Structure 1
Amino acid sequence: MKIRKIYLSLLSVALLWLSACENDEYDGLTDPDPIPSAAITFPQSVESNGVARIEDNAYIIKQNSIAAGQISVQIKVPEGRTIQELTRVTGQRFKNGTPVAPNFSPALPSGATAAANQVPNAAISRNSAGNLPNTITGAPGNMVTYTISTTDFPAVLTDAEMPTVAVGDVIRLFFRVRVDNTEQEQRAIEVRVYITG
């Protein structure tokens, strides 16, 4: 009888503990940003080993954008899901120095020279207001393309210290996507386009 009471007590404690372990990624208080209802991926970030390059919670895309005349980012959701629109695009450009293969991981400037090496000068986050057009091609569809012309570069990504796009620059983008026919936008996802030429 005593063993049964101990067993039931331990079982009750375990159930209480498990019920307290909720997914608090979205609790309405500490992180009110919507959790993605569909997996959003960026096919261009996939390396030769078939795995997407993700560092610092950002997808990394290496791209020969100057020669192509544009920065191009493909955004994809699984088959059967549909990207309706980009509700917000926030961008920033920063200098990353000379890349040393195989490490192309772009790191944000910091310290006293940060402002001179990024545009806009203040660092952005996933909650920053949109500052770029949100026009895409291919919507509605399960894969769309977002482009920025490098010959007619957006004014918000240039200043006196960084007037033109150069090799080694990184275009940091936060995309908010509306999937299917819901009104809810997905949590902002960061992409860093590393300009290789």
Structure 2
Amino acid sequence: MKIEKIYLSFLCVALLWLSACENDEYDGLTDPDPIPAAAITFPQAAEANGVARMEDNAYIIKQNSIGAGQISVQLKVPEGRTIQELTSVTGQRYRNGTPTPPNFSPTVPTAAASLAPNSVTRNTPGNLPTTLTGGPGNVVTYNISTANLPAVLSDAQLPTLAVGDVIRLFFRARVDNSQQEQRAIEVRVYITG
């Protein structure tokens, strides 16, 4: 009798454990929080202590893009992995006054006049070129010219890039020889000059 209870208890625990398992496979489109095969990170977001600067579930890069003439974002995967190409890049620009440290990235405004384009999420189709510099490789660079800002990042209310602007970028990449897209976490480039 006692052995049967132990056996039944073990069987119940095993069934609960098996029923709790989920299919975490990344489907490329509908999974809201995919777990990529190779994590895509942004080395420029690292603080002096090596820890990535993140706010609101986005990497934060502070950059003197106006002076440099371009917005430049490095994407990295672990050694031994390779970013083959960007399959989609979606961007949005907003201006929301001067942020108060330590929050470098102002909250995304809701007024259409402060956003270009007006609505973007991680599932929005790509609206920027997908050209890489230095790829394929485990570290590649994505550049946007500030002298010739893509039309999607400028409009009548935000015609030119200014200090305090934030560029939100969502990348989809093909890593290694897989045909499956991987989505990187959002990155925000905070324009400091």
Aligning the two structures, in what range does the TM-score lie when normalised by the shorter sequence?
Answer: over 0.9
AA of the residue aligned to 1:118: L
The structural deviation recorded for 1:50 is: 1.3
1:176–1:189 Cα contact (<8 Å) kept: no
2:98–2:106 Cα contact (<8 Å) kept: no
Among 161, 165, 178, the residue aligned to 1:165:
161
CA distance in 1, matches of 2:159, 2:37: 39
AA of the residue aligned to 2:76: K
Among 126, 129, 141, the residue aligned to 1:130:
126
2:96–2:164 Cα contact (<8 Å) kept: yes
CA distance in 2, matches of 1:18, 1:12: 10
The structural deviation recorded for 1:26 is: 3.8
The structural deviation recorded for 1:176 is: 0.3
AA of the residue aligned to 1:163: P
Q: How does 1:61-80 map to 2 (within 5 A)?
A: 61-80=61-80
Backbone CA RMSD of aligned residues: 1.9
CA distance in 2, matches of 1:102, 1:27: 34
1:86–1:175 Cα contact (<8 Å) kept: yes
Among 112, 117, 120, the residue aligned to 2:114:
117
Is residue 12 from structure 1 mapped to residue 11 from structure 2 by the alignment? yes
2:91 corresponding residue in structure 1: 91
Q: How does 1:27-106 map to 2 (within 5 A)?
A: 31=31, 35-106=35-106
The structural deviation recorded for 1:57 is: 2.0
1:26–1:32 Cα contact (<8 Å) kept: no
1:194 corresponding residue in structure 2: 190
SS of corresponding position for 2:183: coil
1:45–1:53 Cα contact (<8 Å) kept: yes
CA distance in 2, matches of 1:30, 1:87: 16
CA distance in 2, matches of 1:20, 1:10: 15
Q: Which runs of 5+ in 2 are unaligned?
A: none
Scaled by the length of structure 2, the TM-score of the pair is 0.92
Scaled by the length of structure 1, the TM-score of the pair is 0.91
* Per-residue deviation, residues 116-140 of structure 1 (Å, max 9, x unmatched): 110011x211111110000011111
1:86–1:136 Cα contact (<8 Å) kept: yes
1:183 corresponding residue in structure 2: 179
Moved more, 97-106 or 6-15: 97-106
2:41–2:184 Cα contact (<8 Å) kept: no
The structural deviation recorded for 1:24 is: 4.2
The structural deviation recorded for 1:106 is: 3.0
